[in-house]
């Protein structure tokens, strides 16, 4: 299978991480690659090292108000 888009490796090889709401980032020469980019545009060739960072999504704090507390 020929991979020519950045988002394809994440969907093919990191399905478990994506299913658990993780963030997959690919980094090449210190720059985060964007899903819409092609490997050709990024000048990525055979035998190139691309770093992969997997992180958990941040949970947004909820604005819960405790009615027992005086304002």
CB atoms within 10 A of CB 62: 6
Is the distance from CB of 6 to CB of 37 less than 8 angstroms?
Answer: yes
Instruction: Determine, yes or no, domain membership for 69.
Output: no
Alpha-carbon span 13 to 70, nearest angstrom: 52
Give the model confidence (pLDDT) of 31-50 as tens digits.
Answer: 999 888 888 888 888 888 99
**Whole-prediction pTM value?**
0.65
Give the model confidence (pLDDT) of 52-71 as tens digits.
Answer: 999 998 876 666 655 555 55
pLDDT-based confidence at 12, cuts 50/70/90? Answer: confident
Instruction: Determine, yes or no, domain membership for 33.
Output: yes
| Residues near 50 by beta carbon (within 8 Å), at least 6 away in sequence | 26, 27, 28, 33, 44
What percent of the chain is predicted at pLDDT more than 90?
A: 25
Instruction: Determine, yes or no, domain membership for 21.
Output: yes
Residue numbers of the domain that contains 37: 7-56
């Amino acid at each position: 299978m020929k991979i020519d888009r950045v988002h394809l490796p994440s969907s093919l090889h990191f399905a478990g991480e994506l299913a658990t709401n993780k963030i997959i980032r690919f980094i090449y020469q210190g720059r985060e690659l964007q899903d819409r980019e092609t490997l050709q545009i990024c000048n990525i060739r055979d035998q190139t090292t691309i770093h992969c960072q997997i992180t958990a999504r941040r949970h947004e704090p909820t604005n819960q108000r405790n009615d027992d507390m005086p304002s």
